[in-house]
Amino acid sequence: MKFIAKLVVVFALAAAILAGGYWWGSAKPVTSALKLLNPAEKSKPQGKTQDKTQGKILYYRNPMGHPDTSPVPKKDSMGMDYLPVYEGEAPPPDNSVVTISTEKVQKLGVRTEVAALRELTRTVRAVATVQADERRLHTVAPKFEGWIQRLYVNTTGQTVKKGEALMDVYSPELITAQHEYLIARKGVQSVEGGGQEVLAGMQRLSEHALQRLRNWDISETDLHTLQQEGEIRRHLTLRSAATGVVLEKHAVQGQRFMPGEMLYQIADLSTVWMLADVFEQDLAMVHRGQSATIRMDAYPDKIFNGKVTFIYPTVMPETRTAKVRIELPNPKGLLKPDMYGRVEFASTHSKDKVLTVPDSAVLDTGTRRLVLVALGEGRFQPRTVKLGMHADGYTEVLEGLEAGEAVVVSANFLIDAESNLKAALSGFSGDQRGH
């Protein structure tokens, strides 16, 4: 009996051990399944471990991929939470690139144009006045003292020809010179049968007397009359030395004049000057020999053409302009001194083509000038550029851009407002190029 009881106990213990092992093996997968069904149970033990692996939160980024970030949690305009970016999780965003969705790019009407090489021709405009050619001005100023006996040209603006009589004058010096000539002439006649030396001496006296009258601007016509008639003339005639128009007249019949006193100023207006006031920032575009087109207010249907002959060496401080002299023919006398006109100089920057972009592509921030380079797929990069000449709606780019790069020429400021361009520019340092 005891043996049987011991066997029963052994079998009971073996059965208990087998039942316990079966229960343990079946209970473990059930627990794992319960944990899969209950995420909260899983997150509790693993939360601390994940924080340790992900590390510190650097910032929060826009869930739609826009370049703006936030140091603290926030929501975007659609109510979506900004996503945390952990240390070592992702590289910092490129703040120099502005990203806009393709749909918004189309709505804004963004247009681009490729930076290309062009030959720039700039038109410089200036106001100008007609002036007499200083080389064709003639002043009538007798070299002797005398009185005006009679005036032949007695109005300002009167046209005179070379050799035409201006006035008859009386001068004791002229009478004395004529008397000396006649005495020397009689002396030559009286010694014709004498020695050669005496004859030569009297001839020199006669020539000296005539030369004295020539030096006083007595014309050859009047001297020839004196030689032919052999009589002293009380009044001699002063004649014009040039053809032109009387600009100034100070002579009055009966007045006394002194040596060097100006009685007339006569100008030859067959060729005139246009003096144009060119702003100093445009002076580099004007050079000698350059063609100029002139339009006069008095003749709106006519175009006059001339050439630049001189650029004056000084700038007027009040207007910041310099005088540019243009010489042009005036055969019909249409151009009169002090007439007002407008001048256009067509100037080419250089013989070689230069890199240019449209004027509308340039954004001026006040401290620097920028263009938006289109990188494709709604991405735009602000690029600092150095500019040169402006002409024909285009601007020369000296630095910061390469030929073939597309720049935004329309909706620049709308892109600024839509994509927070100012924030991108504040984080943009240096002139980095994105290709």
Residue 206: predicted pLDDT = 82
Structure-token match 């003339």, residue found: 233
Residue 47: predicted pLDDT = 41
CA distances from 40 to 49, 63, 256 (A): 15, 26, 126
Same domain (yes/no): 256, 161: yes
Q: Would residue 412 count as lying in a domain?
A: yes
Average pLDDT over residues 233-237: 90
For the chain, give the percent of residues with pLDDT over 70: 76
Structure-token match 């010096």, residue found: 173
Q: Would residue 310 count as lying in a domain?
A: yes
Q: Would residue 133 count as lying in a domain?
A: no
- Containing domain of residue 65, as a range? 55-92
Q: What's the domain count of the chain?
A: 5
Q: Which residues contact 355 (CB under 8 A, 6 or more apart)?
A: 115, 116, 117, 396, 397, 401, 402, 403
Q: Would residue 137 count as lying in a domain?
A: no
Pairwise CA distance, residues 81 & 84, whole Å: 9
Same domain (yes/no): 377, 289: no
Same domain (yes/no): 340, 374: no
403 pLDDT more than 80: yes
Same domain (yes/no): 150, 247: yes
Same domain (yes/no): 207, 226: yes
Better-scored residue on pLDDT, 17 or 359: 359
The two structure tokens encoding residue 160: 């005179």
Q: Would residue 7 count as lying in a domain?
A: yes
Q: Which of 25-34, 150-159, 250-259, 390-399 has the lowest mean pLDDT?
A: 25-34
Q: What is the pLDDT of residues 56-111, one digit of tens each?
A: 787 787 776 555 677 888 887 778 888 887 766 654 445 567 777 777 777 777 88
Same domain (yes/no): 254, 292: no
164 pLDDT more than 70: yes
Same domain (yes/no): 305, 397: no
Same domain (yes/no): 344, 359: no
Query: Per-residue confidence at 53, pLDDT binned at 50, 70, 90?
Result: low
The CATH number for 361's domain is 2.40.420.20
Q: Would residue 434 count as lying in a domain?
A: no
- The Cα angle at residue 132 between residues 126 and 137, in degrees rounded to 5: 155
Quote the mean pLDDT of the chain: 79
Provide the angle, in degrees to the nearest 10, between the axes of the packed helices 196-215 and 220-229: 140
Same domain (yes/no): 288, 253: no
Write down the pTM of the prediction.
Answer: 0.57
Average pLDDT over residues 173-191: 84
Residue 435: predicted pLDDT = 42
Could you tell me the maximum CA-CA distance found in the chain, to the nearest angstrom?
207
Pairwise CA distance, residues 165 & 237, whole Å: 7
Sheet architecture: strand order including 57-61:
69-70, 57-61, 83-86
Categorise residue 175: left if φ over 0, alpha if ψ from -120 to 50, beta otherwise: alpha
Same domain (yes/no): 149, 257: yes
181 pLDDT more than 50: yes
Residue 309: predicted pLDDT = 94
CA distances from 234 to 175, 224, 239, 258 (A): 7, 16, 16, 18
Same domain (yes/no): 381, 403: yes
Same domain (yes/no): 204, 243: yes
1 pLDDT more than 80: no
Pairwise CA distance, residues 225 & 210, whole Å: 12
Q: What is the pLDDT of residues 283-307, one digit of tens each?
A: 888 989 999 999 998 999 999 999 9
Among candidates 332, 256, 331, 326, which has minimal Cα distance to 292?
Answer: 326
Task: Map 302-313 to HEC letters.
Answer: CCEEEEEEEEEE
14 pLDDT more than 80: no
Better-scored residue on pLDDT, 393 or 298: 298
The CATH number for 319's domain is 2.40.30.170
229 pLDDT more than 70: yes
Q: What is the pLDDT of residues 123-147, one digit of tens each?
A: 889 999 999 999 999 999 999 999 9
Pick the last residue of a domain from 210, 239, 261: 261
